[in-house]
Structure 1
């Protein structure tokens, strides 16, 4: 007797595949995995490859002017800026997410929520160190130092 309890005519292995189970194609049909058949030999569905390549790395944030701060990749660039009193600093959101420019503690910086592409200018008139953050993402922090 063969491995599946079938008697084989030549003492070899028992037949395998769809034909051994009594499955035969009808007129104009084919069986996957058989000569002349189409498709994979397995009954497991084959899913198309839907994986995509990772997005290209974005370019580093670049301020849009000499007294500018870019908001990109959830950070302020530069994180430390020094300007003279009377200078206007402009923050521009280059992220697809909204951000703010908000003084830490008491301070003059209080932007509205900046959508992607929006800017916030502020004129510094008093020397000092101004620490600020994004109120939506408090881990984003930076400093403007104002000199005489």
Structure 2
């Protein structure tokens, strides 16, 4: 009977360690730092983003359609075509107001205000 109890205790301990290891793997990684613009439902969200100079802004396409981020004044490089879950980033060094749009869907517009 002792052997059966010992085997049960060992099995429970093993199951607990496996469960803890699985929980550790399921923990999401830390989010990528920096201001973010989500592209969703054919819109940039937030539509206007205020950031301090030196900020790296990250656009992420959450739509099922591709998008291309284009500076209206040519003040930063165009993104490549962004498929679902693709990201593009640019570091804004100089203060100012930067408007942009999607070249595929020009009704999509946004603004980055760098302070």
Structures share a fold, TM > 0.5?
yes
Q: Which runs of 5+ in 1 are unaligned?
A: 1-63
- 1:139 aligned partner: 107
Aligned partners of 2:73, 2:105: CA distance in 1, in Å? 15
1:96 maps to which of 56, 61, 64 = 64
Residue 103 of structure 1, CA deviation? 0.6
Which of the pair is proportionally richer in helix?
A: 2
Distance change (3 Å), C-alpha of 1:109 and 1:145:
farther
TM, length-normalised to structure 2: 0.69
Alignment of 1:114 onto 2:82: yes
Residue 108 of structure 1, CA deviation? 0.9
Aligned partners of 2:79, 2:90: CA distance in 1, in Å? 9
- 1:86 aligned partner: 54
Higher CA-based Rg: 1
Q: List 4+ stretches of structure 1 deviating above 6 A.
A: none
Alignment of 1:68 onto 2:36: yes
Higher relative contact order (CA 8 A, sep 6+): 2
TM, length-normalised to structure 1: 0.54
Aligned partners of 1:66, 1:125: CA distance in 2, in Å? 14
Which of the pair is proportionally richer in strand?
A: 2
Q: Which runs of 5+ in 2 are unaligned?
A: 1-31
Aligned partners of 1:127, 1:104: CA distance in 2, in Å? 16
Q: Give the total of aligned pairs.
A: 84
Contact 1:109 1:132 (8 Å CA) reproduced: no
